[in-house]
Structure 1
Amino acid sequence: MATRRHVLAGLLASSLPRLSWADAGSPTFVAAARDATNAFALHGLSAEGAPLFAIPLPARGHAAAAHPLRPEVVAFARRPGAYALVIGCASGTVLARLTPPEGRQFNGHGAFSQDGSRLYTSEVVAETSEGRVGLWDTRGYLRIGEFASGGIGPHELRRLPGSELLVVANGGIRTDPEDRSKLNLDAMRPNLSYLAPEGELLEQVELEPEYAQNSIRHLALAEDGTVAFAMQWEGDPADPVPLLGLHRRGSPARLCPPAETEAYAMKGYAGSIAIDAAGERLALTSPRGSVVQLFAGDGTPLATHPRQDACGVAAAAGGGFIVTDGGGAVSHLTDAGMRPLQTTAAAWDNHLVRIA
């Protein structure tokens, strides 16, 4: 039953002016980075990659989830992490600090419900790497439950466009909770799991046995329901394997190899993935290979562009992609190639998150 204090707090909150993303400078992207003093921060960037704000983080960040209505971002620690900070981007303050339950670890990613009332977090049971999805009520960022992710070692999770269904990239790797050494490379079973908002497993897709060591890590979603996924190969490095896959519910997954001459360019490691607004282009980055590969929306390879330590990628407002790298550059990628936009002192981390 609501207490008088809770009622008064609710009335006060409803009477306050509601902040919007315009109050935070109307950022198009957010990304974590390390500066020249080795301090970490969450940055807001304009559509052209210009810096708008920088809010300190206690340690290295990984990805973030942007609230669909309020100028709030949940910044996740580099996996496996023990913090997730709710940051008010208009005020530049930490509004809440989320801590996983005992024996759990955050795994670097999260997603909001359509109305922003819930936050879903990617987590593992530390001792076994069994996947969990944490549920949080965003009115006070209180934990209200959890459910199984559908596999081992979940990484990115996303909400399907126009629905409340979740898709989870279960990477399939069991790791040591102390040193992150990989314990089950001979028995990996990565999968995509589609989950109802209360946790019911609706559909699950595994890779063919020959690709069982291709860990599914990151996701990009098209408006028509296509899920593009990026992988990291844990098998023999002499074996070139596709690192891009496509899936539609009710169909088998389809892997999309690059051009034969570029089979080794990414060195078995895709760091991030994005799809453009029209659903006509996909970008796959590899900081290990220092390249960005472009594909058509159907998975046809188009080009490979060199970019040192490139990893963050997101759809650009006017077409193409924005790419960030560990050297501080922000670039615009199109079919014509890579065009520098900004040079900063920030060593950009793994992901560039588009604010919808």
Structure 2
Amino acid sequence: MPDRRTFIAGMLAAGLAPRPTWADAGSPAFLSAGKKPDGAYVLCGLTTEGQITFQLPLPTRGHAAAAHPRLAEAVAFARRPGTYAIVLDCITGREKARLSAPPGRHFYGHGTYSADGDVLFTTENDFDAARGVVGIWDARRDFARMGEFPSGGVGPHDIKLMPDGASLVVANGGIETHPETGRVKLNIPSMRSTLSYLSLDGELLGQVRLDKAHQKNSIRHLAVSATGDVAFAMQWQGDLAVDLPLLGVHRIETGRLDLVERASVRHMSGYLGSVAIAKDGKSIAATSPRAGIVQEFAGAEYVGETSIADVCGVAAAASGFVLTSGAGLVKPPSGPDVLHDVAWDNHLIAI
């Protein structure tokens, strides 16, 4: 008898089955890129308990991914400054489409679908003009390029769909780079990051700029609560002896901005890798692979921290948080830790 994946693939090819959902891919809760011991790169589906439901090959190192809201389909993004993204059928492993950044652009490793899954938005570098853009791709037509609009800053990294389904939030890291100089940061003395809120057609709806003291704080990664609160993780580009916060929470409805003092440059080695907000919106977790620490907060109040070597990926489960590390660890909110022969990359993406 054929296995479930082969059977479904055959049914689809014959036009006899409905479009498959994530349940047909083993009901994963998360996506993560990783590296195998033989050097091969993969994209995996993971359950809340840390089990792998599928493992699909990638041509080079992945960074983050975007999960389709209904279909068992994921877009795997190359690590910055990659110029490709691959759309994968997570049941058959088939490459459904490959996105190539237009001339003069590269991806930043992140993207998000619209609420209905018809459109994909990607963060990109217009490197000759030193400006960020959001690329628009038509998921209904083999991911044809539909256009782009300004991201509201320089160096857009993470991007999330807001709960209203009609707007986006973008972490503009503020750092200018160019492919000719690789990952060299070209404008640190004058950099300035922004948190930008944009309509789906590119209108700038609002923006957060940190004060002068935080000018070298690069806003990189985002988490959004069901009520629209945005937690943002930063990476410091200056002297590591300072004690400025690396974690912020912005509430767009009230305009309130809280910076979380305990998640500091000195304590977290100047670097937050990922951030997540609990399902109930009451707590936040932030990771630092450089410090080997995950911290948890109730709002802006410190709850506690745990030391885990090379911890970076974090995502909310039904209760608590799931964590991943570069050593292959998956730490569920309850139950035993699971160790895989996969060096997990930076991010754990909730489906």
User: Which residue of the partner structure matches residue 4 of structure 1?
Assistant: none
User: Which residue of the partner structure matches residue 164 of structure 1?
Assistant: 166
Q: CA deviation at 1:129?
A: 3.5
Aligned mates of 2:73, 2:119 — CA distance in 1:
13
Say whether residues 1:277 and 2:279 are aligned partners. yes
Aligned mates of 1:263, 1:186 — CA distance in 2:
18
User: Which residue of the partner structure matches residue 320 of structure 2?
Assistant: 320
- Counterpart among 236, 239, 254 of residue 236 in structure 1: 239
Equivalent residue of 1:258, what SS? strand
Gap regions ≥5 residues in structure 1? 1-11
Aligned mates of 2:68, 2:158 — CA distance in 1:
17
Q: CA deviation at 1:254?
A: 2.2
User: Which residue of the partner structure matches residue 354 of structure 1?
Assistant: 350
Aligned mates of 1:263, 1:270 — CA distance in 2:
9
Say whether residues 1:73 and 2:69 are aligned partners. no
**For residue 290 of structure 1, what is the amino acid of its counterpart?**
G
Q: Where do 1:16-31 residues align within 5 Å?
A: 17-31=18-32
Aligned mates of 1:206, 1:13 — CA distance in 2:
54
> Percent identity at matched positions?
51
Equivalent residue of 2:206, what SS? strand
Aligned mates of 1:160, 1:275 — CA distance in 2:
14
**For residue 84 of structure 2, what is the amino acid of its counterpart?**
Y
CA contact (8 A) 1:218 1:273 kept: yes
Q: CA deviation at 1:325?
A: 0.2
Aligned mates of 1:228, 1:37 — CA distance in 2:
36
After superposition, the C-alpha distances for 1:327-347 in whole angstroms (9 at most, x for unaligned) are 01101358xxxx742111100
Aligned mates of 1:75, 1:129 — CA distance in 2:
25
Q: CA deviation at 1:22?
A: 1.2
Aligned mates of 1:111, 1:327 — CA distance in 2:
27
User: Which residue of the partner structure matches residue 226 of structure 2?
Assistant: 223
**For residue 338 of structure 2, what is the amino acid of its counterpart?**
Q
Aligned mates of 1:305, 1:17 — CA distance in 2:
44
Aligned mates of 1:162, 1:49 — CA distance in 2:
31
Q: Where do 1:1-356 residues align within 5 Å?
A: 17-139=18-140, 140-178=142-180, 179-249=182-252, 250-258=254-262, 264-296=266-298, 298-317=299-318, 319-333=319-333, 340-355=336-351
After superposition, the C-alpha distances for 1:270-294 in whole angstroms (9 at most, x for unaligned) are 0000011011111100011111011
Aligned mates of 1:118, 1:80 — CA distance in 2:
22
Gap regions ≥5 residues in structure 2? 1-12
**C-alpha distance 144-257 of structure 1, shift in aligned 2 (>3 A):** same
CA contact (8 A) 1:34 1:346 kept: yes
Aligned mates of 2:279, 2:349 — CA distance in 1:
14
**For residue 28 of structure 1, what is the amino acid of its counterpart?**
A
Aligned mates of 2:240, 2:262 — CA distance in 1:
16
Q: CA deviation at 1:171?
A: 0.4
**For residue 351 of structure 1, what is the amino acid of its counterpart?**
H
**RMSD in angstroms over aligned alpha carbons?**
1.7
Aligned mates of 2:205, 2:14 — CA distance in 1:
38
Aligned mates of 2:14, 2:106 — CA distance in 1:
32
Aligned mates of 1:121, 1:15 — CA distance in 2:
33
After superposition, the C-alpha distances for 1:232-253 in whole angstroms (9 at most, x for unaligned) are 0111111021111011125153
Equivalent residue of 2:24, what SS? helix
TM-score by length of 2: 0.92
Count of residue pairs the alignment pairs up:
336
Equivalent residue of 2:23, what SS? helix
After superposition, the C-alpha distances for 1:21-76 in whole angstroms (9 at most, x for unaligned) are 11111111110000010100000111211011110000000000000011100010
TM-score by length of 1: 0.91
After superposition, the C-alpha distances for 1:68-90 in whole angstroms (9 at most, x for unaligned) are 01110001001111110000001
Bigger drift between 34-43 and 264-273 goes to: 264-273
User: Which residue of the partner structure matches residue 7 of structure 2?
Assistant: none
